[in-house]
Amino acid sequence: VTPAGARLRLAGRLALRDPRLLLEYAGWMARGSTHPSTGQRRPPSGAVTPAVARTRIADALRPWDAGPARDLVAGQTLPGGTGAAATAVTMAGDRSLGELVYGLVRAAEPDVVIETGVATGVTSAYVLAALEDNGGGELHSVDLPPADMVGSGLVGCVVPGELRERWRYHWGSARRLLPGILKRTAGARRVFVHDSDHSYANMRWELELAWDALDAGDWLVADDVDLHGAFADVAGSRGARPLFVAQLRKPGATGIMPRRSGADSPW
Ligand SMILES: C[S@@+](CC[C@H](N)C(=O)[O-])C[C@H]1O[C@@H](n2cnc3c(N)ncnc32)[C@H](O)[C@@H]1O
């Protein structure tokens, strides 16, 4: 199938499923990539290693051990090849990000995790593994995946079938879907993970929306926070104490912060 043919087939599928999706993809194509130019990326000063982050999380919440579901996920591999498979590899989260969210979810024991950005599903898989190893909780994922990945069936491909029962996948833009999910899950103990459109405007909008919807004691995470100051700006405006964690295999850093201000912060 030619790329044009694949796009046409997808357009037909979207129009039948939900015409708003068709509009969202049309808008995406018109705008082009929203990923900020990366230049020379390096972790923000003061970024800690994943091993230090693990200790900080364990001290703030509780220590945890890796359970059997985490081992299942760690054995998954990304697809190889060109075209959509190459897109999938570019989009995939670093395993150290997966391990970080696994640890946070194990330690915070949330009822609900809400994430934006799935692609192949590295973070989704690790979150689902942590919920499984905790013995409770569900994951809501909001995702507007690249059209070629949809056509090739690669969306969520690293999420093992055994872990999908706790998974609610919402296909569409964070702008349209995130407010409703935050509203519907109000009152639950929650962790929010941003890993979708990394433009300054969107990252800031998602994090402010999530901060205002979450309760004291919940947690927020964002990947690629070294691209610009959105994460640090939200932390500053809310008086939170963020931790920046360097990724191991890809350039970049992840931000993590408790939804608590100043002296109430667990770190
Ligand atoms: C960096 S990838 C996510 C990686 C994933 N968390 C992982 O660990 O493998 C970003 C995903 O967010 C999607 N996306 C981009 N803009 C979006 C938006 N406005 N709303 C929801 N998803 C979006 C992308 O198409 C892609 O599927």
Closest C-alpha among 256, 249, 266 to residue 92: 249
Say if residue 224's pLDDT is above 60.
yes
The pLDDT confidence band at residue 15, using thresholds 50, 70 and 90, is: confident
- Which H or E run includes 149? helix 147-151
Q: Is the CB of 119 under 6 A from ligand 1?
A: yes
In terms of DSSP bridges, do strands 243-246 and 253-258 run parallel, antiparallel, or are they unpaired?
antiparallel
Whole-number Å distance between alpha carbons of 183 and 214 = 10
| pLDDT tens string 192-208 | 999 999 999 999 999 99
**Whose C-alpha lies nearest to ligand 1, atom 20?**
173
Q: How far is CA 202 from CA 4, 161, 264, in A?
A: 29, 31, 28
Closest C-alpha among 112, 157, 102, 104 to residue 139: 112
With H, G, I as helix, E, B as strand and everything else as coil, classify residue 228. Answer: coil
Instruction: Give, for ligand 1, the residue of 25, 34, 144 to mutate: max count of ligand atoms closer than 8 Å to Cβ.
Output: 144
- Beta-bridge partner residues of 141: 115, 169
Please say whether the beta carbons of 83 and 148 come within 8 A.
yes
Residue range 245-266: average pLDDT? 91
Q: Is the CB of 142 under 6 A from ligand 1?
A: yes
Tokens standing for residue 267: 């770190």
Tokens standing for residue 13: 């599928």
What per-residue confidence (pLDDT) applies to 70? 97
**Whose C-alpha lies nearest to ligand 1, atom 18?**
173
In the DSSP assignment, the letter for residue 264 is: G
| pLDDT tens string 51-95 | 999 999 999 999 999 999 999 999 888 888 888 899 888 888 899
With H, G, I as helix, E, B as strand and everything else as coil, classify residue 57. Answer: helix
Whole-number Å distance between alpha carbons of 86 and 67 = 31
What per-residue confidence (pLDDT) applies to 33? 65
Q: Is the CB of 163 under 6 A from ligand 1?
A: no
| pLDDT tens string 149-187 | 888 899 999 999 999 999 999 999 999 999 999 999 999
Residue 102 Rama label (left phi>0; alpha psi -120 to 50; beta): alpha
Q: Is the CB of 96 under 6 A from ligand 1?
A: no
Q: 175 CA to middle of ligand 1, Å?
A: 13
Instruction: Give, for ligand 1, the residue of 76, 116, 128 to mutate: max count of ligand atoms closer than 8 Å to Cβ.
Output: 116
| pLDDT tens string 26-52 | 888 888 766 666 556 777 778 999 999
Please say whether the beta carbons of 72 and 129 come within 8 A.
yes
Q: 53 CA to middle of ligand 1, Å?
A: 24
Say if residue 1's pLDDT is above 70.
no
Ligand 1, atom nearest to 123 Cα: 8
Which of the two residues, 217 and 30, has the higher pLDDT score?
217
This prediction's pTM: 0.95
Q: Give the amino acid at 203.
A: M
Q: 197 CA to middle of ligand 1, Å?
A: 6
What per-residue confidence (pLDDT) applies to 109? 98
In terms of DSSP bridges, do strands 167-171 and 243-246 run parallel, antiparallel, or are they unpaired?
unpaired
What per-residue confidence (pLDDT) applies to 38? 57
